[in-house]
Amino acid sequence: MLTLTQALFDQIVAHARADHPDEACGVVAGPEGTDRPERFIPMVNAARSPTFYEFDSMDLLRLTKELWANDEEQVIIYHSHTATEAYPSRTDISYANEPGAHYVLVSTADTDGLGPFQFRSFRIVNGEVTEEEVRIVEAY
């Protein structure tokens, strides 16, 4: 199960809506080994695409060094789908290389980024996708 605060949930959804019609992407970091998302880190979609996302390689390198220096890890890796449901694509599955991370997808399909949306979380390990419950709390 993924547990995150209402504030983090709202930040992820706002980022997905703001970048629509392109896919948004980012990370929520947390203290290493806690599985507790705490720090919202929106990333730039270097692909600038409505159907694909990728982290800029230099931004990802900086993020990796920052997380390591702060004893943090990527608790959530998120991105949006702008034309399909919030479910990992084959490409998403092939790029999922953090077995401990929660992979969050927000779909803004058919909403122009303003209306209803889907918010789902998955574990992706060795190509196997498992959906998990999302619990929103006011604070930890």
State yes or no: pLDDT of 111 exceeds 80. Answer: no
Q: Tell me, what's the pLDDT at 109?
A: 83
51-94 pLDDT, tens digit each: 999 999 999 999 999 999 999 999 999 999 998 999 999 999 99
Average pLDDT, the chain: 94
- Here the CATH number for the domain that contains residue 99 is 3.40.140.10
State yes or no: pLDDT of 114 exceeds 60. Answer: no
Radius of gyration of the chain (CA): 14
With a pLDDT cut of 90, the percent of the chain lying above it is: 89
Q: Tell me, what's the pLDDT at 56?
A: 92
How confident is residue 115, by pLDDT bands cut at 50, 70 and 90?
A: low
Of 71, 21, 70, 76, the C-alpha closest to 43 is: 76
The alpha carbon of 66 is separated from its chain's Cα centroid by a whole number of angstroms, namely: 18
Q: Tell me, what's the pLDDT at 128?
A: 96
Q: Which residues does residue 31 pair with via DSSP β-bridges, in sequence order?
A: 72
The domain tally of the chain equals 1
Average pLDDT estimate for 19-46: 96
Structural domain for 89, as ranges: 2-137
